[in-house]
Amino acid sequence: MDVYYFTEMPYAEFPESEAEKFPSMRLTFPNTYFDPRLASELFRRYLDEYQYAEEVGFDGLMINEHHNTPSCMDVEVNITGGILARITKRANILILGNLLPTTDNPVRLAEEIAMVDVISGGRLISGVVRGIGVESWATNTNPVYNRERFEECHDLLIKTWTTPGPFRWEGKHFHFRVVNPWMVPIQKPHPPIWVPGTGSPETVEWAARRRYTYAAFLTPLEVAEDLFKLYHKHAEEVGYTPGPEHFAFMICCHVNDTDDKAQEEGRHFLWRMGHPLRGPQAYFAPPGYVSRIAALMTSRRRPKPLNQLSYQELQEANHLIVGSPETVIKKLRHIKERLGIGALLLEAQAGQMSHQTTMRSIELLGREVIPALKEL
């Protein structure tokens, strides 16, 4: 099992009480709270942490993208992907992922991703995502077409990487006279594709039919099991039996020298579990963004939203693993064995967790936890 380091690169440099003055910390929280000079320091620190994660033994580095939110400063994963490609040497670079439906130029996107793959010498994993509902607002992309645009953008990316140019594309949402980018990926036929999900059955089926790795994000273990079973079913339908490499699981994690210290510092994750998930329903579910079936399944699967769970409940539900190396090893082993995953994605920095604390957690994860997880 490969272990990945991940941070959303938050900007938590304002009092939480400020965020509470607004309907949400996403979309409409005023950007006057943003200080670019502070952000510059934060980027330096987050990138240092990624570098260190590789150094101490993480197999991969994961990055993601959001818009109009202090919970995630990464607004262009291909920029950070390009930086990581240059400042690291060995680790996989997992972009999870590029927002396909909100892009208007899939060919440009194909070029950017290919460039990251080329700069990294073929270490890129190219995740693709539909984006949360807020991204439809932030980019003003019609949410009704979210899934259609996701699928067409994906098809065009793959064709751009695998079909010798020039060719022409006349689709429903995208139209190109001459597709013939000079920049194509090192990895053949193309970099691996991963897809995250929290419950949409359509996404599981879509990934399974294409043999893409499906990453369950912050779901209860039993839900991840259900989703993986569904993946198996669709895989069998198209004639293959999936292995661990087809499954990944993302959770939050903090390790410290003792359980007590870890419990104290792990509270920084409450910022991440709280504010970014609060807001009017319309922000998260614009018209047509969620299919009626998916909405039903999601409500069945996670009876209580993450931002209504206590610190204790978050840990009991395995959304957040906190403790000394010994405690964390035990819990992560349980998850690994129960889910049969090929990759564990650890979000190991959040909110105002300091650089020093984050570095210690990364160090303990790399030097003690990861080696123990690789035994057996």
Partner 1 sequence: MADGYTDTFVEVAETNLRLLRGGQGEPLLILHGAGGNRGWLRYAQSLSRRFQVYIPDHPGFGKSDQPEWIASVPDLACFYLWALEDLGLSRVRVMGLSMGGWLAAEMAVLCPQLFERLVLVGAAGVKPTQGEITDIFLLSPAELTAKMFHDPKQAPEYEQLYGAQPTPEEQDLRTRNNEMAARITWKPYMHDPRLPSLLRRLRMPTLIVWGREDAIVPVNCAEIYHQNIRGSQLVIMEQCGHVPPIEKPQQFVNIVSEFL
Least separation in angstroms between CB 295 and partner 1: 9
Q: What does the per-residue mask of binding to partner 1 show for 116-135, with x meaning CB under 8 A?
A: --------------------
Q: If 0-12 CB within 10 Å is exposed, 13-18 middle and 19+ buried, where does residue 301 land?
A: middle
Binding partner 1 by CB under 8 A: which of 282, 331, 359, 363?
Answer: 282
Question: Applying CB under 8 A, which part among 56-64, 140-148, 203-211, 325-333 lies near partner 1?
Answer: 140-148
Least separation in angstroms between CB 290 and partner 1: 10
Centroid of chain to Cα 47: 17
Q: Which is nearer to partner 1, 166 or 280 (CB)?
A: 280
Q: Which is nearer to partner 1, 241 or 281 (CB)?
A: 281
Concatenated DSSP letters of 117-166: HHHTTS-EEEEEE---HHHHHHHT--GGGHHHHHHHHHHHHHHHHHSPSP
Task: Rule CB under 8 A: say whether 178 interacts with partner 1.
Answer: no
Q: Which is nearer to partner 1, 258 or 291 (CB)?
A: 291
Q: Which element (helix H / strand E) includes 216?
A: strand 213-217
Task: Rule CB under 8 A: say whether 287 interacts with partner 1.
Answer: yes
Rg over CA atoms, the chain: 20
Angle between helices 259-266 and 325-339 (to 10 degrees): 70
Binding partner 1 by CB under 8 A: which of 288, 337, 352, 354?
Answer: 288
Concatenated DSSP letters of 23-81: S-SSSSS-GGG--HHHHHHHHHHHHHHHHHHHHHT-SEEEE---SS-TT---S-HHHHH
Task: Rule CB under 8 A: say whether 292 interacts with partner 1.
Answer: yes
Binding partner 1 by CB under 8 A: which of 57, 101, 286, 351?
Answer: 286
Q: In terms of DSSP H, where are the helices of 167-220?
A: 201-209
Neighbours of 200 (CB within 10 A): 19
Q: Which is nearer to partner 1, 122 or 280 (CB)?
A: 280
Q: What is the size of the binding site for partner 1 (CB under 8 A)?
A: 14
Q: Which is nearer to partner 1, 173 or 331 (CB)?
A: 173
Residues of this chain that interact with partner 1 (CB under 8 A) are 137, 140, 142-145, 280-283, 286-288, 292
